[in-house]
Amino acid sequence: MLNTLSGRFLILTTVFVMLAEVLIFVPSIARFREDYLADRLERAQIASLALLADDMLETELEAELLENAGVYNVVLRRDEIRQLMLASPIPQQITATYDLRMAGAMMLIMDAMARLVRPENEIIRVIGAPVREAGLLIEVTIETAPLRAAMIDYGVRILILSAVISVFTAVLLFIAVRIVLVKPIKGVAGYMQRYAAAPEDGRGIIQPSSSVVELREAEEALMQLQTELTQALKQRERLAQLGGAVAKVSHDLRNILTSAQLFTDRIEMSEDPLVRRLAPKLVNSITRAVSLCEGTLAFGKAEEPSPTFGVICLHEIAADIAESELLAADSDLVKIINAVPKPMMLRADPEQLFRIVLNLVRNARQAIAATARPGQVTVDAQEEADAWYITVADTGPGLPQKAQDNLFTPFQGGIRKGGTGLGLAIAGELARGHGGSVTLKETGAQGTVFEIRLPKGDGAL
């Protein structure tokens, strides 16, 4: 109950209404005290009028008048003459005098609060103006115990009434909030839960119906989001099916092309000049087709597994990559230099890091080989306080602008003719799995430099 929106609203409403009633209570008590004292002055004036009507009142009658007025004595000032009209023995000394004729609101509040916190029974003098201009002033002496008791009784009744009003108001607001806000919000939550259970079912998409402007805007935004998400899921499902079909086709096509590649090796040994001239072009075309099939199969696999981190020697990985790439390249045309410091150890998945660096080195080696001019690829690394930085630099022709614009986009960021751009896309994905990145630092006629950043993070050396 307390954890619900309506429950908390009920509690807050009760607290705020009670706070408002407390703020009203203080001036109300002050007003009650003023009315109490004014009533005593009026009673005393009425008693003194009886004396003016008959100067010879008996002592018992005078005492009864004072008791009914609730005062000890009455002083009336008429025509500049101050006259003691009624009097009785005062049990103790007068402790304070209050003049109601010149008391402001703050003074009345302060005097009332002071009386509430002082339980002692005291004798006070009260001065006021007579009613109906029956004199210049009237002055009485009273004790404070009855005044304080009456104030407490009034205050308790005010607090009880305030509590009743607060609870009644809170209940009404509780019901109103449940109808106007909580019920529509629960309806939206229900739509979200039904949609989450079956996002492909169009019946789970919310239909805006609220008359509250803010809630209707939220419903419309949710409807748009659900509609777009449903379309995206359907498109993803179609793409997944298409990807499965492409993977199957690529797998079978790769096997066919591999067999064709073996046949072209025999064709190259033909004595026919025309065949010998066309055979290399056929071999290159089949090789590019095989490479495209392999890249498509590699990219179309399920998501890469999370990296298994370990402490590895980067120099050894770079040496393995250089050796494997040199076997596929003309060693007189392309040189691969391993400049990684031998003592450097870093924390990464050895298999995935091998693939990241291999893709960059292979791209660089193929870019240089395509120019038919000598060049070199250099793998270097350095360690900083927060990360390791691995650079792969080449002396190739640089990247064209189109390749730079779609550098890590599959099938669009290919650098060489016939390339697919999958190598860089896979390298970027694997680096992100390590919390790092692959970025193009520079490119131009003097060559290209890629940088791999691997953050150290928790547990690093």
Asked if residue 452 has pLDDT above 50, the reply is yes
In 89-156 the beta strands, taken as DSSP E runs, fall at 94-99, 123-128, 137-143
Lowest mean pLDDT among 48-52, 82-86, 116-120: 48-52
Residue 437 reports pLDDT greater than 70: yes
pLDDT at 438: 94
Lowest-pLDDT range of 63-67, 99-103, 251-255: 251-255
Which one is predicted more confidently, 320 or 8?
A: 320
Q: Is the pLDDT of residue 307 over 80?
A: yes
For the chain, list the domains and their CATH numbers.
5-169 (no CATH), 213-298 (1.10.287), 305-455 (3.30.565.10)
pLDDT over 70 (residue 444)? yes
**In whole angstroms, what is the distance from residue 75 CA to residue 71 CA?**
11
The radius of gyration of the chain from alpha carbons, rounded to an integer in Å, stands at 49
Q: pTM value? A: 0.44
Strands (E), 320-386: 334-338, 345-348, 375-383
Strands (E), 300-433: 310-313, 334-338, 345-348, 375-383, 387-394
First-to-last C-alpha distance (Å) of the chain: 51
Burial of residue 281 (CB within 10 Å: 0-12, 13-18, 19+) is exposed
β-strands 375-383, 387-394 pairing: antiparallel
Q: pLDDT tens digits for 338-391? A: 999 998 999 999 988 998 998 899 889 888 888 888 899 999 999 999 999 999
Is residue 460's pLDDT more than 50? no
| Per-residue pLDDT at 277 exceeds 80 | no
User: pLDDT digits over 186-216, tens only?
Assistant: 888 887 888 788 776 666 788 787 777 777 8
**207 within 8 A of 39, measured Cβ to Cβ:** no
Mean pLDDT (the chain, rounded) = 79
Percent residues over pLDDT 90 in the chain:
15
